[in-house]
Amino acid sequence: MTVFSLIIINKAGGLIYQREFQPGLRKLSTNDYLVLAGTFHGVHAITRTITPKLPLATASTTATTPTSSTIPSTPGTPTPPTPASAFTFPNPGIPATGLESLETDKFRLTCFQTLTGTKFLLFTDPMMGNIDVVMKKVYELYSDYVMKNPFYQLEMPVRCEAFDRHLAGWLRGRT
């Protein structure tokens, strides 16, 4: 159960938060962290475009065409199937995800992208499980102590003492 460090990347690929919780990884210079954030952002975007989206879509259209061809024969209700297929077809709830994890002998990097485009990168022990629980809590703390803070400017580096405090406190409580 070791979480080495956390990185938060904003929508534009800029590094807005970097913090080490437990020693175990070598430190990078600030500049390298910025490069890492930018590079990861780019790679993530490319891997997202690689993700195939079509099969699900064609399957749903082929599935709906027979039904829609049968329904017009019955008089009165030709309209309902068309909006239904238009809704299920591009599923807005599940966007194409890019790179989700990278693994080496010594650590695993897990990426979580929020619906608004902010990315959370966790460096953990490769043997560690339940990373999504940690990720969820980090996201929760971020939306509480960063987004509800009137002194935080969107897309700018996160300097919220309450966020640091609660994050450290929660991670300490888990180990």
Q: Residue numbers of the site for other proteins (CB under 8 A)?
A: 144-145, 148-151, 159-163, 165
Return d(Cα 93, Cα 3) in angstroms, integer. Answer: 29
Least Å from the CB of residue 156 to other proteins: 11
Two tokens, residue 82 = 């068309």
Two tokens, residue 174 = 């888990």
Two tokens, residue 53 = 């989206």
Residue 125 or 144: the one with the smaller Cβ distance to other proteins is 144
- Between β-strands 3-9 and 119-124, what pairing exists: parallel, antiparallel or unpaired? antiparallel
Least Å from the CB of residue 153 to other proteins: 10
Residue 126 · residue 103 · CB < 8 Å: yes
Residue 18 or 124: the one with the smaller Cβ distance to other proteins is 18
Residue 99 or 160: the one with the smaller Cβ distance to other proteins is 160
Residue 111 or 158: the one with the smaller Cβ distance to other proteins is 158
Least Å from the CB of residue 145 to other proteins: 6
Give the C-alpha distances (Å, rounded to integers) separating 155 from 10, 12, 118, 152: 6, 8, 9, 9
Residue 24 · residue 34 · CB < 8 Å: no
Least Å from the CB of residue 152 to other proteins: 8
Two tokens, residue 92 = 């807005």
Least Å from the CB of residue 70 to other proteins: 41
Residue 53 or 165: the one with the smaller Cβ distance to other proteins is 165
Residue 83 CB coordination number (10 Å)? 9
